[in-house]
Amino acid sequence: MTDQQDPICPLDHPGHPDRPSIAAPGSRLCKGHERAVDDRLVELATFSRDADQAEHDGALGTSSAPPLSGSKEQPLPYSDALADHRQRVRGVLASWSLLVAEERGVEPPAEPEPNRMVDFLRRHHDWAVGQDWADDYAGEILELGRRAWSLLHPSGVRRFPVGQCVEVYDGVRCPGTLWALLTPADPYAEAGAFWACDECGARVESSDWLVTGRRIKAMGEAA
């Protein structure tokens, strides 16, 4: 009788490339990648709307299209890359939705809209990550998410809330929020390059994260 080995997550783990990550029970992926796929699906559900807003706000530069017919007025900023990715997101989500529906014997989303397809895939997420094709599925969803983020945020920086700022000025605690800012080189890294407050600008280096985290907790409990 041979010992049965725990399955290893087949996806890349940049934070520790030489150390295998054990897959979660009933899954072919580790818990980190399971969560990452679900997070990217949530973002992809609103990608088209977010792209429209970014174009409307002029955050993506100027349009390459000619002036509107009969006037010198330039059209709203437009990105060919965003338009192409909209179609790719819709196509990939539709393809995986149909596969899941066929293999589970259920009806696919009635409307092939990204938000409907994302809702469908998230309902079947726990089942999908346990299938033989889970690595292909996760790889495509993660890549769609990376590309969507890079198009909407050319700097490549991501941020996540850590907690209320711990700085005190004239006896009053800063009302701002500390955010973990992630490096452009690895926008899906698990830890930020540093934390920064969106109100007072205070910056917390990685060497002070533990102490600051404890202060956030203690000040929150005392409030």
- pLDDT tens track for 179-192: 887 655 554 554 55
pLDDT of residue 88: 95
pLDDT of residue 64: 45
pLDDT of residue 72: 47
pLDDT of residue 136: 97
Look up the pTM and report it. 0.65
pLDDT at 99 over 90: yes
Q: Residue 137: which of 110, 98, 104 has the closest Cα?
A: 98
pLDDT above 70 covers what percent of the chain?
75
Residue of higher predicted confidence among 203 and 153: 203
What number is the average pLDDT over the span 204-210? 82
At 24, the pLDDT band (50, 70, 90 cuts) reads confident
pLDDT of residue 140: 96
- What average pLDDT does the structure give for the chain? 80
**Lowest-confidence segment of 12-16, 51-55, 78-82, 137-141 by average pLDDT:** 12-16
Residue type at 134?
A: A
pLDDT of residue 39: 85
